[in-house]
Chain A
């Protein structure tokens, strides 16, 4: 089945220790998104790619970076995680049209 895969599902890191979350898709969608979701809050868009074109949200901290080496893969790098970065990170894809997004299962990040 075509899908969006996120690895790992659970990630524990130490305060200040860089961490990378990964997302892959078999849908061949042009657009990929990273969201941060904290408990009982709305998923918050961090950035999205349209192919290689990177679009950062204005309020996304500089601590968050992303890479998309090809259509299938997208990475979220957190350079120096703080306690406030503990959250669920959701990857999603879509076609470049008014359309639904397809979400991965998320990676739950714990910062110790």
Chain B
């Protein structure tokens, strides 16, 4: 049972436009969500996070939105740059645990 889902395996966006990556989850007890970026031959690197008590967190070009009623979060990248081309994973954790459940990832390609 996949508790964290990224239904779009890939996404292509023109440079300078907005990239929107989506993530759905099934467990309403998740209290912390993270986005990671992964380049080929490297491990995932942390990008941005959001607590379940918030609905938005912004860091430069990256903004994460959380809609708890819909059990949905999204990552917006504005403006998109070719260097943003990577696989993006969302992950979620339960209160009181140090464990994170990952989605399957979305491969973003930013076209120059």
Tell me the complex Cα distance, A103–B2, Å: 22
User: A76-112 toward B: CB 8 Å interface, digit per residue (1/0)?
Assistant: 0000000000000010101010101111111000000
Q: Are A43 and B32 in contact (CB under 8 A)?
A: no
Contacts of B101 in A (CB 8 A): 42, 45
Contacts of A43 in B (CB 8 A): 44, 89, 102
Shortest Cβ distance from residue B87 to the other chain A in the assembled complex, whole angstroms = 10
Q: Are A92 and B43 in contact (CB under 8 A)?
A: yes
Interface residues of A in 29-76 (CB under 8 A from B): 31, 35, 40-45, 48, 50
* In the assembled complex, A4 has its CB within 8 A of some CB on chain B: yes
Contacts of B31 in A (CB 8 A): 98
Q: Are B105 and A42 in contact (CB under 8 A)?
A: yes
Tell me the complex Cα distance, A96–B34, Å: 16
- The interface size of chain B toward A, counting residues with CB under 8 Å, comes to 25
Q: Are B100 and A45 in contact (CB under 8 A)?
A: yes
Tell me the complex Cα distance, A31–B4, Å: 22
Report, as a range, how many residues of chain A touch the other chain: 20 to 34
Q: Are B4 and A103 in contact (CB under 8 A)?
A: no
Tell me the complex Cα distance, A48–B97, Å: 11
Contacts of B63 in A (CB 8 A): none
Tell me the complex Cα distance, A6–B34, Å: 23
Shortest Cβ distance from residue B73 to the other chain A in the assembled complex, whole angstroms = 15
Tell me the complex Cα distance, A105–B42, Å: 4
* In the assembled complex, B41 has its CB within 8 A of some CB on chain A: yes
Shortest Cβ distance from residue B90 to the other chain A in the assembled complex, whole angstroms = 10
Contacts of B102 in A (CB 8 A): 35, 42-44
**Which of B32, B43, B46 is A105 in contact with, Cβ under 8 Å?**
B43
* In the assembled complex, B49 has its CB within 8 A of some CB on chain A: yes
Contacts of B51 in A (CB 8 A): 98
The 5 A-B pairs of least Cβ separation, nearest first, read A103-B43, A100-B46, A42-B102, A42-B104, A43-B102
